[in-house]
Amino acid sequence: MTLINRFFASRWGVVAVGVFIGVLAPVLVKAGNPGNMGVCVACFSRDIAGALGLHRAGTVQYIRPEIIGMVLGALIAALAFREFKPRTGSAPLIRFLLGMFAVIGALVFLGCPWRAYLRLGGGDWNAILGIAGLIVGVAGGVVFLRLGFSLGRSRPAPAALGWALPLLMVGLLLLLIVEPQLGRDADGNATGPIFSSDSGPGSQYAPLIVSLIVGLGIGVLAQRSRFCTIAGIRDFILMRDTRLLGGILALIAAAFVTNAALDQFHAGFDGQPIAHTEHLWNFSGMALAGLAFTLAGGCPGRQFILSGEGDGDAAMFALGMIFGAGFAHTLTLASSSAGHGVYGLAAVLFGLVACIIIGLTMREPKSV
């Protein structure tokens, strides 16, 4: 156990996890997932929201087993290494809102930080704008952290609280397998939810068992190594700590090599899978996402992993992402391959203003 712990705590442990994700994500694409979308926590939150009927965009509806696997994998690792620790009380409402803003920004770009790196590793140069925006957003978050921003302290909580999100994930898995038709149309015929896409990204997926196992593997490894696609940038800017940054660079390099080996590397701006070429939107969407993720303390994958460890505040962020993804499509905030959504600009501006207010006003109460 100590040897394993020491390895994952080291620089090479994070690099190994980055390589694991960077190799397996393109393999998931080969196995059926949408292009450059082996793993995308924002896109998968959106697909889950669609399957549950939180939005009705017919092309993005599928309960993604990777997300379920990540949470349950983190739960297993946390239990095995005595790190399962139910806790809550660190501004759960604000975290829920940050989750909503983060996913809205990510869906303007069309991908979370994980997918931004995977898109880069697949030759989609639009990702460069997204990653540049992400860095600017993270840097903005660091400014607020230096000014004293804090979401306050969490407190230990009953075991049931820590188990809530993992059990919700088990429930999602059952819904995915059984696929009940819980709705009724105007004529009283059974219809979704659970919805499933006939075309588009939601109709493209690797076999359930493959997705679930890869998700479990990512969950275990990310829990052990604290892999985080935001903290890699944040810690470098904030403290010149490059440990987690190594994981990001390893992920991009491994995705590039694997995509090349699988004949999935296609360099350019135009015609990239589930991507658009509007540079300003790619940049600004991810700037919002980067700021929201930084204020919440970690990337979307990390939030789901922490939820598996019993962190009820991270679970609020994760739920905020799923609900936010529902709004992003219902209110036409999200982009598509054709370009930005009708209210995308308004959503990004609103989200930035809200995050700046949160960054300036949230402080740890003096009395604690």
Partner 1 sequence: MTEMATVDARGLSCPQPAMMTRQTVLKLGAGVIEVLVDTSTARDNCARMAQSNGWSVEIERRPEGEFRLVLRKWST
Q: Which residues bind partner 1 (CB under 8 A)?
A: 9, 81, 83, 85, 87, 89-90, 145, 150-156, 226, 231, 234-235, 238-239, 241, 243, 297-298, 313, 364
Query: 215 or 297, CB closer to partner 1?
Result: 297
Is residue 66 within 8 Å of 173, Cβ to Cβ? no
Query: 18 or 50, CB closer to partner 1?
Result: 18
Minimum distance from residue 243 beta carbon to partner 1 (Å)? 7
Note the helical H segments in the chain: 2-9, 11-30, 41-51, 65-80, 92-109, 113-121, 126-146, 159-178, 208-225, 231-239, 243-261, 279-296, 300-308, 312-330, 344-361
Paired strand residues for 348: none
Query: 229 or 272, CB closer to partner 1?
Result: 229
Minimum distance from residue 66 beta carbon to partner 1 (Å)? 23
Say how many residues make up the chain. 368
Query: 155 or 184, CB closer to partner 1?
Result: 155
Minimum distance from residue 207 beta carbon to partner 1 (Å)? 33
Is residue 103 within 8 Å of 323, Cβ to Cβ? no
Minimum distance from residue 30 beta carbon to partner 1 (Å)? 33
Count the Cβ atoms, other than its own, within 10 Å of residue 150: 14
Minimum distance from residue 81 beta carbon to partner 1 (Å)? 8
Minimum distance from residue 90 beta carbon to partner 1 (Å)? 6
Query: 5 or 181, CB closer to partner 1?
Result: 5
Query: 95 or 340, CB closer to partner 1?
Result: 95
DSSP string, 274-318: T----HHHHHHHHHHHHHHHHHHTS-HHHHHHHHHTTBHHHHHHH
Give me the helix-helix angle, 312-330 and 159-178, nearest 10°: 40
